[in-house]
A and B are shown apart, each in its own frame.
Chain A
Amino acid sequence: MNAIIASALLGVLMMFASWIFDNEKTHTRIALVGLLALIVANVLQLNGIYSIPLDTKGMLSFTQFGLYVNTIIFILTFLYVWLNGDEIAKIGNHAADFYALFFFILCGASILTSFNNLLMLFIGIEILSIPLYILTGSDKKNLNSNEAALKYFLMGSFSTGIFLLGITFIYGATGTFQITSPVLNPATGMVREQLMQSAGLILIFVSFNFKVSAAPFHFWTPDVYDGAPTVFTSFMATIVKATAIIAFVVLFHSQFKALGYAWELLLTFVLIATLFVGNITAVFQRSVKRMLAYSSIAQVGFMLFALYGATSFATEGILLYIMSYSLASIGLFGVLIKMKEYSFEAFNGLAKKEPLLAGMTTVFLLSLAGIPLTGGFFAKYYMLNAAVQSGTGLWLVVVAILFAAVSVYYYFKLIQAMYFAEGEPAIYEVAQGYKYKLLVFAVLILGLGILPNVFLSYLYF
């Protein structure tokens, strides 16, 4: 509860900040302090010290898992703003407005990690999505940005409609929005209601696939990620996507797990399609930004493995996955922002000119590719383990690793450009402080790769 209320209040506060203070640097500082306050508020509840007493009539439930996810997401956002503050200030007129939007997104995220009721889920998703449409279009004079925002908005609204329809069906069948109330059992329930319930669940499934950009509902992703200002792409592709995935996993690990017969076959199809489309298309990209957009689709393919088993491997794994994936992607986008152009050739010879920057980019890429010693390895490891343990066909895991090998191809293309190609990299001057900030990301990724325990043990205390 703390996080939801605090983030909403902070969002309003941020809007007034631009009115009071004129300096953009100050806005960033206020946002950072606000985020810290948000983290503290959430940790207070996580440790059971204090939480705002408010009866939600069982519509929200605050679990250890959900609150821990909140903490991770807030810390990631903090790191993101800390790294990208200057870049955010360059876009639009008032950085504070964007920060306000961030806080609203975090409010939606906090609802998504604690919903117990389909309506709350719907509200959470909407609070999360609407600020994103604005962020996408925030580069007002850029046609691509405008197009992306419109596209995102239209497609997003459409998927929202589907989501609502799904909820309606389920309500019609069961008479409740609560996800904890028992579902209609195929053995006892009536046939028509069962069908309605399954249809509703499938509609929700489809809509969620749209939100997390899983194929074949991914078509908006490359255009939106490419058109949006790079700093905001970084935010959307990581923190927002991570939250949506968590909500997805929580919902389908609930009572609806029992309806697996209705959606697990679909999931298998979506998973393979996502891995296929994401990886194969990424191979052919010439722009690093678009490559990252497709790679983010491909990574979703791996995250979806968490839906299979409701084991501790699946929940721990998805946490590790969002941590390592978000850190690596924010880092990579952080490097990308400093490039004059986004082609692979622009990175030629970067290792000679900026050895530290190239080294850190390599760590980010290795993590995305899932090479040991980086967080990405354990993330993938847990996902595969969850799938093997749940007993879903081993062949699916084999397919997944074949695509993981494909992903090595495009991630290493960038490493090859940086280290083995001659040329002058098209990069702006990078301040020393910025590099050290990126170094924090790289160190965190290596930390996740060597001692993932440290990050996961929190779940059990």
Chain B
Amino acid sequence: MVLLSILSIPFIAAILLLFVKHDEKANYVAIAASGITMALSLNIACNGAANFDTSWMLSLNARFTLTADGLSKILMLLTCISFPAIFIASAKNEIKNRNQFLSLMLFTQTGLLGVFLAGDALLFYFFWELALIPVYFLCSIWGGEKRVAVTFKFFIYTFLGSLFMLIGIILVYTHTADQSFAIQSFKQATLTFGQQLTAFALFFTAFAIKMPIFPLHTWQPDAYEQSPTPVTMVLSAVMVKMGIYGVIRWLMPLFPAAFSAHSNFVVILSVIGILYASFIAIRQDDMKRLIAYSSIAHIGLMSAALFANNEIGTQGVLIQLFSHGVNVLGLWIIADIIEQQTGTRSLKEMGGLAKQNPTLGILLVGFAFANIALPLTNAFVGEFLMFNSLFQFNPWIAAAAGVSVVLAAIYTLNMVQKCAYGEVSEKMNKMQAPNVPAQFVLIVLFIVVILSGVYPAPLFDLTADTLQQLFIK
């Protein structure tokens, strides 16, 4: 029942918000709804198992099943923490028709939570698509100059991918013993190696587009740049995790043979993607694009570690799912504050942030360190494990991926240097009084970064059951 309420609270609030025309009240409603969901999700994360199951479509034998194992919980937690953080951080932004904006955001949250909690393939697909529709409208209405074309590209890309997945789902469904969409039946489906390969390809296309894996990534930097920053936060902190979630939830247990047959291929693609994105990130002047490419590189590392197909790597990815979300959220919030107050995203026009607003400067440095996975930060734990697994997989590939650490240091520190230090630039002079709620959120997130970097044990405990299911039969 708790799971159902986690899903329905944002949904009901989203409908309610359509009728709250007053900006400030709309903010309160959104923050309250997402805050309650956060409390509930923390409760579930601490208190162990939760399930919800009811009949949905009889003739298809699809059920409305929600389950929360370690993998679901960690992503549910990330989603439920991100949304209130985003709402508070962007409370002062100027947004036209704020109530509609917040309403669509909450619809997105419902969709995302549904994806992470669904225990039924058809339900999973249902939410997978539903999460996309509100984002389409959010980006196309409130985005930057080229928003309509860019968002459309993003939409068509992901829509096509998910249609492929739908065929994959049908294919596996026809081979289940009891003609059911439940994940347990899917796991027991009898597929020949050839069928596994086909189904793997169909599912993988959807996930690869969503993550994205090189060369299917072209929609992402544009979409991140053109979306309004609160939506970019959702996209890069939570939504890209859908792809990785899909791989762990469906690809690994359902098609083990096809999975290991493809691991070389995908790992190499991922490493190419990491290096490619890192090199482009170095050349970026636009802060949003820089963070976008850096995010592609990080996700690439996660997919490489996943497809290395060993326990350490998967453990690392499970931790990193959460850590990357928190870190990138912090970076986006800082970028958003700077853009809102100075009106620029170009690094050339920045400088002297540390003088103008020391707190923000320190936070920027802190999150930058987390972005390059320095020890003591949360990202270190995950990346260490992931590199370890890549080394086990193939030392040469690990070495190639390892270059990305150096590259990450180059572009991230370069960004910090240009933004925080040096003379106070003309634009930076416009920085006004600190944005208190946003900085509060940043400080809380930063505490999470350090805490889970120093003491990651709770995160390991949380995901232990998923790992056990995947690797110990």
User: What is the total of A-B residue contacts with beta carbons within 8 Å?
Assistant: 67
- B156→A405 contact, CB < 8 A: yes
- B59→A453 contact, CB < 8 A: yes
Q: Which of A17-25, A104-112, A380-388 contacts B (4 or more CB under 8 A)?
A: A380-388
Q: Which residues of A contact B156 (CB under 8 A)?
A: 405, 408-409
Smallest distance from the beta carbon of A406 to chain B beta carbons, Å? 9
- A405→B163 contact, CB < 8 A: yes
Task: Give which listed residue, A372, A420, A452, A453, contacts B140 with CB less than 8 A.
Answer: A420
Closest 7 CB pairs of A and B: A401-B163, A405-B160, A372-B129, A388-B170, A372-B126, A420-B148, A385-B170
- B57→A453 contact, CB < 8 A: yes
In the complex, whether A402 has a CB less than 8 A from a CB of chain B is yes
In the complex, whether A155 has a CB less than 8 A from a CB of chain B is no
Q: Which residues of B contact A456 (CB under 8 A)?
A: 59
Q: Which residues of B contact A389 (CB under 8 A)?
A: 174
Q: Which residues of A contact B155 (CB under 8 A)?
A: 408, 412
- A316→B59 contact, CB < 8 A: yes
Task: Give which listed residue, A385, A394, A402, A452, contacts B57 with CB less than 8 A.
Answer: A452
A390 to B58, CA, bound (A): 21
**Interface positions of B from 152 to 201, Cβ below 8 Å from A:** 152, 155-156, 159-160, 163-164, 166-167, 170-171, 173-174, 198
A interface footprint on B46-69 (CB within 8 Å = 1, 0 otherwise): 000000000001110000000000
What are 13 sample pairs from A and B whose C-beta atoms fall under 8 A apart?
A: A372-B125, A372-B129, A373-B130, A384-B167, A388-B167, A388-B170, A394-B198, A401-B163, A405-B159, A419-B137, A420-B140, A420-B148, A453-B59
In the complex, whether B91 has a CB less than 8 A from a CB of chain A is no
Q: Which residues of B contact A377 (CB under 8 A)?
A: 129
- B167→A398 contact, CB < 8 A: yes
Please give me the residue from chain A that is nearest to B125 by CB atom: A372
Q: Which residues of A contact B140 (CB under 8 A)?
A: 416, 419-420
A374 to B473, CA, bound (A): 40
A373 to B11, CA, bound (A): 14
Q: Which residues of A contact B58 (CB under 8 A)?
A: 453, 457
- B59→A457 contact, CB < 8 A: yes
A404 to B161, CA, bound (A): 12
Residue tally, chain B, CB below 8 Å to A: 27
Which A residues are closer than 8 A to B by beta carbons? 316, 366, 371-373, 377, 381, 384-385, 388-389, 394, 397-398, 401-402, 404-405, 408-409, 412, 416, 419-420, 451-453, 456-457
Chain A contact residues: helix, strand, loop or mixed: helix
Smallest distance from the beta carbon of A90 to chain B beta carbons, Å? 35
8 more contacts with CB within 8 A, not counting A405-B159, A451-B57, are A388-B170, A394-B167, A394-B198, A398-B164, A401-B163, A405-B160, A419-B141, A420-B141
**Interface positions of B from 116 to 146, Cβ below 8 Å from A:** 125-126, 129-130, 133, 137, 140-141
Which B residues are closer than 8 A to A by beta carbons? 57-59, 125-126, 129-130, 133, 137, 140-141, 147-148, 152, 155-156, 159-160, 163-164, 166-167, 170-171, 173-174, 198
A394 to B163, CA, bound (A): 13
A388 to B137, CA, bound (A): 33
Smallest distance from the beta carbon of A199 to chain B beta carbons, Å? 35
Q: Which residues of B contact A451 (CB under 8 A)?
A: 57
Smallest distance from the beta carbon of B11 to chain A beta carbons, Å? 12
Q: Which residues of A contact B147 (CB under 8 A)?
A: 420
- A371→B129 contact, CB < 8 A: yes
A397 to B202, CA, bound (A): 12
Smallest distance from the beta carbon of B396 to chain A beta carbons, Å? 35
A397 to B164, CA, bound (A): 9
- B148→A408 contact, CB < 8 A: no
- A381→B166 contact, CB < 8 A: yes
- A384→B170 contact, CB < 8 A: yes
Q: Which residues of B contact A452 (CB under 8 A)?
A: 57, 59
Q: Which residues of A contact B141 (CB under 8 A)?
A: 419-420
- B171→A394 contact, CB < 8 A: yes
A367 to B166, CA, bound (A): 17
A389 to B173, CA, bound (A): 10
A416 to B141, CA, bound (A): 9
Please give me the residue from chain A that is nearest to B133 by CB atom: A371
Smallest distance from the beta carbon of A64 to chain B beta carbons, Å? 15
Q: Which residues of B contact A412 (CB under 8 A)?
A: 152, 155
A366 to B133, CA, bound (A): 10
